[in-house]
Structure 1
Amino acid sequence: MIDQRKLFDNTALECSRIITQRYSTSFTLGIKTLHEKFHLPIYAIYGFVRYADEIVDTFHDKDKQGLLNAFTADTYKAIEDGISLNPVLHAFQLIVNQYHIERPLIAAFLKSMEMDLDFTTYNDSRYKEYIYGSAEVVGLMCLRVFCEGDEDEYEKLKPAACKLGSAFQKVNFLRDLKSDYEDRGRVYFPGVNFKKFDQDIKSEIEADIERDFDEALIGIRQLPKGAMFGVKIAYLYYRKLFQKIKGLSPEVITQKRIRIPNARKMMLLAGTYLGYKTGLG
C-alpha cells in the first residue's frame, strides 16, 4: 500500500529538483556529484532560494513587496506546521526541520531579498549584510545538511562555507554588472559608479574575490567525503568563470553577461572526477 504522506513529501522534493534543473545547469551538475543522500535536501534549499529571488528580480508588474511578505509568512508557517500545500515551501520545511537549520539563517536570507526591493547602491555595511544574507547563509544551510548533525564539524567549517558563498556572489555581481544596472538599477559593489568602472576598480574587486576563494578551498578539502566532490565542482566552475572575467576588459564586463558553455562545464566535471579518483583533486 502506498504511503500517501511519503508520496506527498517526495513529490514536493521532486518539484524542487525540477526547478533547479530548469534554472541552473551548473548547480544541477554539482548536486548530481554529491552523495545521493544529499541530492533532494540541496534541491529543496535551491528551490526555496530560487523562488524567493524570482519574486524580487522577475515580477516587475506585480506587487513585489506584497508577494515577498506572503512568501515570508508562508515560509515560517510551513516550518512551524510541518506542512505546506506550496511544494517549494513544503520541501524546504522538511529539510529545515530534519537538519535543524536555524531560523536566523532564513531570516537573514529573506532580509537580503527585501533589500533588493529598496536598495540600488550599497555602502560597505549594507554590502556585507547583503552578501551574508543572500549567499553565505545559503552555504551554511547546505553545510547543515552535509554535516548531518555533527555540531563540531559544522562550527569548524562555517567560516570557509561563508567565504565560498561570498566568492560565488561577488563573481555573480561581476558577471551580471550590466544587467543589474540596466535592468534593475543596482550596483552592489560599494562606492562603484557603473559609468566609471575601470581596471583599477575591477582589479581591487578581483583581489578580494581571490582571497575568498583561497580561504574557501581550505574548507572544501575538509568536507565530508560525500559532499566534497560536488562542492568542488561548483568551486571549479566559479573559478573558471572568474578567470574568464579577469581576462576581460572593464568595457566588456559592462557590455555583456559572461558565461561558461555547457561543454566546458562537462570538461570540468571530467577533470575533477579524474583528480578525485586519483587523489590529486
Structure 2
Amino acid sequence: MTRTELDAAGIRDAGLRASYQRCRELNARHGRTFFLATRLLAPAQRPAIHALYGFARWADDIVDEPPTGDDVDSAAARLDAVAQTMRDSFRGIHDDPILAALADTAARYGIEHSLFDDFLDSMRMDLTVTDYPDRAALDRYIHGSAAVIGLQVLPVLGTIGPRSEAAPYAAALGKAFQLTNFLRDVAEDLDRGRVYLPADELAAFGVDRARLQWCRTNRRTDSKVRSALAAQHAVARDWYRYADAGIALLHPVSRPCVATAAVLYSEILDRIEQSEFAVFTARATVSNARRTRVAGSALARALWARRGSRARALTPTGG
C-alpha cells in the first residue's frame, strides 16, 4: 500500500521514497489515532501527512524527558542542529531522511517555513519552562506546539475557498488536540516535572503544583483538583466546537479524515469526564473497537468523496 501512496503522490526518487517510508513508520508506531485517520485521506495525500508527523515526532522526542544541568545545553544544541539541518534541507541539502521528506512536502504544498521554526521554538521552551502562569503564556507555547501543526497540514488537506478562511479553524483543532493531551497526561507530565495548565486558573479552585503532586502520589483526584480539571475540560470542549465549523471549508476528500480525528480525540475528553477526572489513576483512551467503528463509518464517506472529486483532483498547488 505504501508503494501505491508514493506512486499516487508522484514521488519517484528512490531515496525520497525511503525517506517518506521512514516517516510513515514513525506515524504508524507512535500516532495510532492520527495514523488511522490518515487512512481516510486519498493515497496521494498520505505521504505528506506522514512527513509532517515524522518531523514533529522526531523533534519532540529530543525534549520528551526534561534535561537537567548540562543536559539542557546538550538538548538545546541538538534542537539547534535540527533547525540548521532543516534549513539546509529547504535549500536542497539533505543529510537526514525525515527532513528530506519534510522539505519535499513543504515545497510541493507551499507550506511556510516559519511554521516549522515556530514549532521548534516551542520545543525549546520545554527545555526550561516547567509551569505557565496564565492562559496567555500557555497559548504562546500551544501556538508552536499544536496550532502550527494544523496550519502545516491545511495545504495538504485542501480547501474549497481561500486557505486563509480555513486557517483559524485548522489552528483551533490543533489546539483542541493539545488541550486534550494536557488533561489526559497530567500525571505523566508531573513525572517529567511539567504542568501544562494555567497556574492562575488552577489557583481559582485552590489548586497548585503541590496539590497536583499530592494527587499523583496518592493516585486520586481530590474535589478541588476535580473542579479545576473540569474547568479546563470545558475550555477544550469550546475549542472543538469552534474547530468543527471549519471542517466544511475543507476539500470534500479531506473532511471524513478530519472529522474522524476530531471525534476520536474529543472522545478522550468523554472518557476523562466519565472517570470523574481520575487522570492520576489511569490514562484515558478510546478502545480499538471504537476507533475501528468510527473509521469504518467514515470510510464510506471518504470513498464517495474521492469518487465525486475525480474530475477535480486534489493536487499540490504551492499556494
- Structure 1 residue 109: deviation in Å? 0.5
Letter in structure 1 aligned against 2:124: E
Choose 39-48 or 11-20, whichever is displaced more: 11-20
How many Å separate the matches in 1 of 2:302 and 2:102?
A: 31
C-alpha contact 1:26 1:265 (8 A) present in aligned 2: yes
* Of 86, 98, 110, the match for 1:75: 86
Letter in structure 1 aligned against 2:100: H
How many Å separate the matches in 2 of 1:259 and 1:236?
A: 13
C-alpha contact 1:101 1:141 (8 A) present in aligned 2: yes
- Structure 1 residue 244: deviation in Å? 0.8
Tell me the residue number matched to 1:8. Answer: 15
Tell me the residue number matched to 1:129. Answer: 140
Q: Deviations over 1:13-51 (max 9, x none)?
A: 111111111111111101111111110000000000000
Letter in structure 2 aligned against 1:157: A
- Structure 1 residue 263: deviation in Å? 2.2
Structure whose alpha-carbon radius of gyration is higher: 2
Letter in structure 1 aligned against 2:95: L
How many Å separate the matches in 2 of 1:121 and 1:229?
A: 36
Tell me the residue number matched to 1:224. Answer: 251
How many Å separate the matches in 2 of 1:217 and 1:267?
A: 20
| C-alpha RMSD over aligned residues | 2.2
Q: Give the % identical residues.
A: 29
Tell me the residue number matched to 1:120. Answer: 130
- Structure 1 residue 169: deviation in Å? 0.2
* Of 65, 69, 94, the match for 1:84: 94
1:178 aligns with 2:204: no
Q: Deviations over 1:179-214 (max 9, x none)?
A: 0011x1110111132425622211211111111011
Tell me the residue number matched to 1:205. Answer: 232
Q: Deviations over 1:219-261 (max 9, x none)?
A: 11221012111111111111111111122223x2123322222
Choose between structure 1 and 2: higher helix proportion.
1
C-alpha contact 1:38 1:145 (8 A) present in aligned 2: yes
How many Å separate the matches in 2 of 1:48 and 1:236?
A: 24
C-alpha contact 1:178 1:256 (8 A) present in aligned 2: no
Letter in structure 1 aligned against 2:63: V
Superposed structure 1 runs of 4+ greater than 4 Å apart: 58-62, 274-279
Aligned-partner SS, 2:41: coil
* Of 97, 103, 126, the match for 2:107: 97
1:143 aligns with 2:154: yes
Q: 1:181 to 1:220 in 2, by over 3 A?
A: same
- Structure 1 residue 278: deviation in Å? 9.2
- Structure 1 residue 125: deviation in Å? 2.3
Q: How many positions carry a matched residue from both structures?
A: 271
How many Å separate the matches in 1 of 2:49 and 2:93?
A: 18
C-alpha contact 2:22 2:97 (8 A) present in aligned 1: yes
Tell me the residue number matched to 1:238. Answer: 265
Taking structure 1 as the reference length, what is the TM-score of the superposition?
0.89
Aligned-partner SS, 2:13: helix
How many Å separate the matches in 2 of 1:43 and 1:249?
A: 35
C-alpha contact 2:272 2:284 (8 A) present in aligned 1: yes
Aligned-partner SS, 2:197: coil
Q: Deviations over 1:77-130 (max 9, x none)?
A: 1112x2413110000010112212112211111100001111100122220011
* Of 162, 170, 177, the match for 1:168: 177
